[in-house]
């Protein structure tokens, strides 16, 4: 229990928890998008189950550190490109995200007049399976971050548990906000395309600095927030303009 009195451990725990929350925000958004395809009575349960699966996935991967490390051993070679188990996971996850995001964007744009209108409503089980696949992809990035920052497995698990609890509390407001604003949902799906492409590129041993990706996503979010604020101001403006007119009309009538 000596680690309890070690300030470096506590600093590492706070820092890693913050990073896990940041890395998990996109997971929460995409869980909210998938859960939003279900009837309203099942959406909260789907989000809770999805985040619980995310927690179990992260802990399971953390407990399998030796296996994750072994994934860096080359399995086969394609045109001088050595493919490892980790590369296969990144490539598979990236292709899955690209396909999933493309299909979701297609459905959103086609609407009821297109192919989406003829589809059967997804079942609770099918949505949970999709959430689980997303959890595996996002958990890999989260676990690699944890392994790179901290050596103590207990600190890693504690940071992951705290981060998931924070995400569980904030999942409702985030889901409500995303569902109220279709443009935010489309922006989130475009992020899914970006992340999927990044995973494919990294699976092919072409590293893209995370700072560039975070800057692009952050700038896009800033622009969208400004657009939402502008639309909100435009919606309020006609009401304010009508008030003097109604007052003048009322005075003339008397």
Q: Is 0.75 surpassed by the pTM of this model?
A: no
Spatial CA neighbour of 164 closest among 68, 29, 56: 56
Domain assignments of the chain as residue spans, ordered by start:
2-208
pLDDT (average), residues 9-33: 73
Q: How confident is the model at residue 141 (pLDDT cuts 50, 70, 90)?
A: low
Query: Is pLDDT above 60 for 69?
Result: no
pLDDT digits (tens, 9 = 90+) for 165-215: 887 787 778 777 777 777 877 887 787 788 788 878 888 888 887 778 778
Task: Quote the percentage of the chain above a pLDDT of 90.
Answer: 1
Query: What's the Rg (C-alpha) of the chain?
Result: 23
| Rounded Cα distance, 230 and 36, in Å | 26
Amino acid 114: pLDDT: 44
Residue 108: left (phi > 0), alpha (psi -120 to 50), or beta? alpha
pLDDT digits (tens, 9 = 90+) for 226-236: 988 888 887 76
pLDDT digits (tens, 9 = 90+) for 84-100: 887 887 788 788 778 87
Mean pLDDT of the chain: 75
């Amino acid at each position: 229990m000596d680690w309890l009195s070690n300030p470096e451990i506590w600093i590492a725990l706070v820092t890693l928890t913050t990073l896990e929350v940041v890395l998990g925000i996109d997971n929460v958004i995409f869980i909210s998008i998938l859960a939003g395809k279900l009837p309203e009575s099942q959406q909260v349960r789907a989000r809770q189950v999805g985040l619980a699966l995310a927690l179990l996935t992260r802990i399971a991967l953390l407990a399998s550190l030796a296996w994750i490390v072994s994934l860096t051993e080359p399995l086969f070679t394609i045109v001088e490109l050595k493919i490892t188990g980790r590369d296969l996971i990144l490539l598979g996850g990236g292709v899955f995200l690209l396909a999933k995001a493309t299909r979701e964007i297609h459905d959103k744009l086609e609407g009821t007049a297109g192919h989406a209108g003829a589809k059967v409503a997804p079942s609770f089980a099918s949505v949970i399976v999709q959430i689980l696949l997303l959890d595996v992809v996002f958990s890999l990035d989260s676990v690699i971050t944890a392994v790179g920052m901290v050596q103590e497995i207990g600190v890693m698990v504690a940071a992951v548990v705290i981060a998931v609890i924070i995400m569980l509390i904030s999942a409702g407001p985030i889901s409500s906000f995303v569902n109220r604003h279709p443009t935010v949902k489309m922006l989130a799906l475009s992020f899914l395309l970006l992340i999927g492409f990044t995973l494919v590129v990294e699976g092919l041993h072409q590293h893209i600095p995370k700072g560039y990706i975070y800057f692009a996503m952050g700038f896009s979010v800033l622009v969208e927030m400004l657009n939402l604020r502008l639309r909100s101001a435009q919606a309020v403006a006609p009401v304010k303009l009508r008030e003097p007119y109604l007052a003048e009309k009322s005075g003339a009538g008397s």
